[in-house]
């Protein structure tokens, strides 16, 4: 695609076919609806070499979107719900300071670099967090099912597991809380595997860990360190 920009300008449009599709800049104008129809096995991957700008409506339909550029961004006036986002080993993805920019249904895979301002990632489906690179994000919301897999490494300030959601930390995964961090459990939180770890970054700071009335804990294994003076604050009707 060189440095071209493909603009979808209106109505309902689709990207179809059995081959991967490579874009440099992809833009959805206001009033445009774009569907990535992915019926291939294995799943096709569409790559973005620079910017994704969504001012319309995007339907992912099981599509994988891979960001390959050294300075890619997710932009636009509309929150984008992706099925799967992959940051390539050569890629850097920036989502800026818009609070609600990125929703994930299936997988967020970071093999490169992820740059966040005040934005959050919301997991709304049956999803996994994976990849070979550590990820730092301002906030995470879970309203679906999320698994942080063996060896995965995530740093957040705010992590909210809503009452309709579930979150599992598996294997040697690590969840770091930055200065002022808060872990708010309103749904089902489970640890499994060898030594999943919840701690702070830097280790000199502390964070809060609250299990609300609707929340539940099933801690089968793991390390929990650097909590504030309240420890794990479990509401009276929570399940633990």
pLDDT digits (tens, 9 = 90+) for 187-214: 999 999 889 999 999 999 999 999 999 9
Q: Mean pLDDT: which of 1-10, 37-46, 58-67, 197-206 is highest?
A: 197-206
Burial bucket for residue 81 (CB in 10 Å: 0-12, 13-18, 19+): middle
pLDDT category at 237 given cuts 50, 70, 90 is confident
Segment 51-57 mean pLDDT: 95
pLDDT of residue 17: 75
Contacts of 42 (CB under 8 A, 6+ apart): none
* pLDDT of 10 above 90: no
Q: How far apart are CA 55 and CA 186, in angstroms?
A: 32
Reported as a pLDDT band with limits 50, 70 and 90, residue 1 is low
Instruction: State the pLDDT confidence band at 39, using cuts at 50, 70 and 90.
Output: low
Q: Are 58 and 30 in contact (CB under 8 A)?
A: no
- β-pair partners for 13: 34
Per-residue pLDDT at 236 = 85
* Average pLDDT taken over every residue of the chain: 92
39: CB partners within 8 A, 6+ apart: none
- How big is the chain by its Cα radius of gyration, in Å? 19
Sheet harboring 113-115: ordered strands across? 5-8, 25-28, 51-54, 72-75, 92-94, 113-115
Q: Are 125 and 108 in contact (CB under 8 A)?
A: no
Q: What is the pLDDT, as a whole number, of residue 38?
A: 65
Report phi then psi at 171, rounded to 5: 60, -135
C-alpha distance from residue 120 to each of 16, 103, 115, 160, 209 (Å): 30, 9, 11, 11, 19
What average pLDDT does range 44-58 have in this prediction? 92
Looking from the CA of 206 toward its CB, the CA atoms found within 13 Å total 9
User: Kindly report the CA angle at 195 between 189 and 198, in degrees rounded to 5?
Assistant: 55
Kindly report, residue by residue over 114-167, the tens digit of the pLDDT.
988 888 999 999 999 999 999 999 999 999 999 999 899 999 999 999 999 999
Residues 65-85 have a mean pLDDT of: 94
Helices and strands (H, E) in the chain, number of each type: 0, 28
Is pLDDT at 44 greater than 70 in this prediction? no
How many alpha carbons lie under 13 Å from residue 196 in its C-beta half-sphere? 23
Q: How far is it, in rounded angstroms, from Cα 113 to Cα 160?
A: 23
pTM: 0.93
Whether the pLDDT of residue 27 is over 80: the answer is yes
Average of pLDDT values for 23-28?
A: 96
Please give the pLDDT value at position 40.
60
Confidence of residue 61 (pLDDT cuts 50, 70, 90): confident
Q: How far apart are CA 30 and CA 167, in angstroms?
A: 35
pLDDT category of residue 37 using cuts at 50, 70 and 90: confident
Facing residues of 214 across strands? none
Distance, CA of 168 to CA of 4 (rounded, Å) = 41
Q: In angstroms, how far is the first alpha carbon of the chain from the final one?
A: 53
At residue 82, the pLDDT reads 94
């Amino acid at each position: 695609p060189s440095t071209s920009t493909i603009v979808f300008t209106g109505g309902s449009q689709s990207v179809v076919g059995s081959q991967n599709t490579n874009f440099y800049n992809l833009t959805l104008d206001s009033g445009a609806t774009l569907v990535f129809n992915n019926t291939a096995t294995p799943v096709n991957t569409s790559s973005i070499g620079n910017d994704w700008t969504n001012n319309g409506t995007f339907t992912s339909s099981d599509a994988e979107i891979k960001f390959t550029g050294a300075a890619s961004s997710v932009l636009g006036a509309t929150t984008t719900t992706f099925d799967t986002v992959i940051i390539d080993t050569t890629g850097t993805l920036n989502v800026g300071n818009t609070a609600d920019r990125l929703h994930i249904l299936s997988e967020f895979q970071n093999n490169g670099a992820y740059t966040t301002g005040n934005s959050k990632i919301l997991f709304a489906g049956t999803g996994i967090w994976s990849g070979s690179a550590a990820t730092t994000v301002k906030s995470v919301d879970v309203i679906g099912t999320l698994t942080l897999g063996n060896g995965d490494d995530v740093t957040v300030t705010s992590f909210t597991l809503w009452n309709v959601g579930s979150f599992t930390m598996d294997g040697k995964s690590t969840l770091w809380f930055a200065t002022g961090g808060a872990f708010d459990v309103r749904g089902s939180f489970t640890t499994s595997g060898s030594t999943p770890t919840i701690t702070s970054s830097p280790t000199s700071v502390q964070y809060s860990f609250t299990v609300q009335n609707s929340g539940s804990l099933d801690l089968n294994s793991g390390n929990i360190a650097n909590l504030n003076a309240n420890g794990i604050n479990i509401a009276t009707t929570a399940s633990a």
